A and B are shown apart, each in its own frame.
Chain A
Amino acid sequence: MWLAVALNDGVHAAPKIGGKITMQKKRASPVAWVALLIGMLYMGIPLAATVIFSLGSKLHSISAPSPISFSAYLNIFSDPKFGNNLWFSVGVGLLTIVISTLLLVPLIYWVQLRMPYLRSVIEFMTLLPIVIPAIVLVFGLLAQYRNSYLTNGDTGLYVLLTGSYVVIAFPYTYRPINTAFQAINVKVLTEAAQSLGAGWFTIIVRVILPNVWGGVLNAAFITLAIALGEFTISNALAQSTFSNYLFNIQTKIYEPAAFTVVAFILTWFFIAVLQQVTQRPSQRRNQPVIVAPAAAPIDPFGTLHTDAVTTKE
């Protein structure tokens, strides 16, 4: 009900209140079209202009068009730093995903099973990074670990980078996994597994994890998107991330625009994959994978990443 997929909405179009849609169809006022148009122009013009700009190797305009050139794209793709920094960021992202999953899955499992009184504390902790802006967090880290192993070498800075990514991702990783846990009966699954002779490792890896896989994957994709786009922390720690590469090519003329087009397509790709990931198990099992609880508030900052596309009702 609450998980609708924007790209394929026909199925979900059935109105809750009979006649609502048909009544409104008749009233689709010109004002609505104008409102939509203004917003779309505001967002569409920069995107279109960027695509056009990235294709021009010379100054061009409608009055004096020059031929389309892909040289800006070729330049960035042939730059070895582009690939190196991209893979560096993907690597940090994957490591962040592994650490978040290892921290959160056992935590949420145990809290649900044995320590429900801790839930609100943990929820608060995972939302705390929203209140601490990234710029504050990174200088806090540098102050806290000043003149230690963590700040004196590349390995230490890498640890700081990964650790802070895990933390800033908590508001977006905790919720999908927690919601997936709430959809299953942890106690019954655990007891059933135990009575069949499973140990704790088997229970978590072979019984619990497959059941919350949708939530884990959801969290993983958000984390990867964060790791690829994050700039503030990686800039302060001077790590060779994707966004720092982007920052360094800002002095060029057409390359940033080409890069922006690539970034936009990548964002689109991630969100499309995210939709697929959160959607497919539901079709397979005929039971929705929970991305956002229906009655829960649309988490602001969560909205930014997933619920935006997945939650409609």
Chain B
Amino acid sequence: MADNTSVTHDIQMTLPAVAVVSESSSRPRRSRPVWLSWDWLAVLPFFAFILAFLLLPTFSVFRGALLDDKNQLTAEYMLNLLGPQYSGPYISTIEISVVTAVAGGVMGFLMAWAITIGGLPNWIRSATLSFCGVASNFAGLPLAFALAATLGRNSLLVDDLNNIGIKLYPSFSVYSVIGVCLAYTFFQIPFMVLIMTPALDGLRQEWREAASNLGASQSQYWRFVALPILSPSLLSAFALLFANSFGAFATAAILIGAGPGSLYIISIAVQRQFSSDISTNPHQGYALAVGMVIVVLVTILIYSVARGRAERWRPRGT
């Protein structure tokens, strides 16, 4: 019974710990300050990891954007972002993100409406949500290839349209900004469905009944009751869809990456600055990256403020 001693030893060792654990909430804090506690040892690995793989690299990007080759502080690269050469990719990426967020958002919202308030059968609702769960994950490279297989020069659809006299090419190409927009819209739709379905479920029947008891028509109900309630949810969803498109890289890299991608897509413009090409400048690349972080940060702030307002309408306890 060699184990016996160690077990009793263990119990003796842990008994004081039990006392501390169970009384820690009621007993006033010990005299030792919080930050000196041994507890920090347990959470240290996580913070070290975050520091090494997230905070320091981000700091490096900011430093690279604000220093020049001689390590002198300079605002030149950041100010360049406002000039025509480097503001172009931002503007067009923002435009692409807005267009796809609106297009995908509207289609997604209507689908979400159809499966909730629209009253489609329950199995359709489940099937749609299930499909959207998969489709919203279907982004990146495979999505670009799917689009190329659908609307590429050799594709079935283009070929058949050709046969009936509709010639898409050469005025249209899937390897273009339009192709990128079509692809982004593809993942925005299911995303929107998944975000808006719970929000639409949260519209209570009582509100509709109250409105109609007071003589409101269907459109008045939507204009004065439902949409104002949904507006924070819609705004937060829009911010998310926007951020989703804005940071995307892989799909665009396939569709227009080799061509004029860096003129239109900011993530490709950043990547291009780090290529071995002689005309590129890493410092400008860091500045472009900082600009990206700022845009995403603003978007996420809008998201969280809107989200907070949307929460007010969420029924408690569900």
Contact = CB atoms under 8 A, between A and B. Distances in A.
B81 interface: no
Interface string B11-29: 1001101100110100000
Closest 9 CB pairs of A and B: A32-B118, A140-B57, A24-B119, A309-B133, A35-B110, A32-B114, A53-B149, A6-B130, A9-B126
A135 B114 contact: no
Interface stretch (B83-91, B221-229, B285-293): B285-293
Contacts of A247: 141, 253-254
B189 interface: yes
Nearest to B135: A43
Interface stretch (A78-86, A104-112, A212-220): A104-112
The interface centre, meaning the residue of A7, A24, A163, A309 with most chain B CB atoms within 10 A of its CB, is A309
A132 B54 contact: yes
Main secondary structure of the interface of B (DSSP, over half): helix
Interface string A190-202: 1100110111000
A125 B141 contact: no
B256 interface: no
Nearest to A143: B60
Contacts of B156: 49, 52-53, 56, 60-62
Contact of A264 (B138, B191, B307): B138
Given A135-B270, A300-B303, A143 B61 contact: yes
Contact of A267 (B138, B246, B282): B138
B54 A46 contact: no
A70 interface: no
Nearest to B152: A53
Contacts of B10: 197-199
A interface, how many residues as a size bin? 35 or more
A304 B191 contact: yes
Contact of A260 (B53, B61, B130, B142): B142
B134 A268 contact: yes
Nearest to A49: B150
A157 B7 CA distance: 45
B311 interface: yes
Residue from B10, B14, B317 whose CB has the most chain A CB atoms within 10 Å: B14
B190 interface: yes
A130 B300 contact: yes
Nearest to B123: A9
Given A107-B43, A118-B43, A197-B11, A144 B133 contact: no
Contact of B56 (A24, A53, A144, A307): A144
B157 interface: yes
A191 B18 contact: yes
13 contacts: A39-B107, A45-B150, A46-B147, A46-B150, A63-B160, A135-B270, A137-B57, A139-B61, A191-B22, A229-B140, A236-B274, A250-B141, A268-B134
A136 B292 contact: yes
A20 interface: yes
B107 A303 contact: no
A180 interface: no
Given A107-B42, A166-B49, A313-B198, 5 more contacts: A28-B121, A36-B111, A53-B156, A133-B293, A297-B311
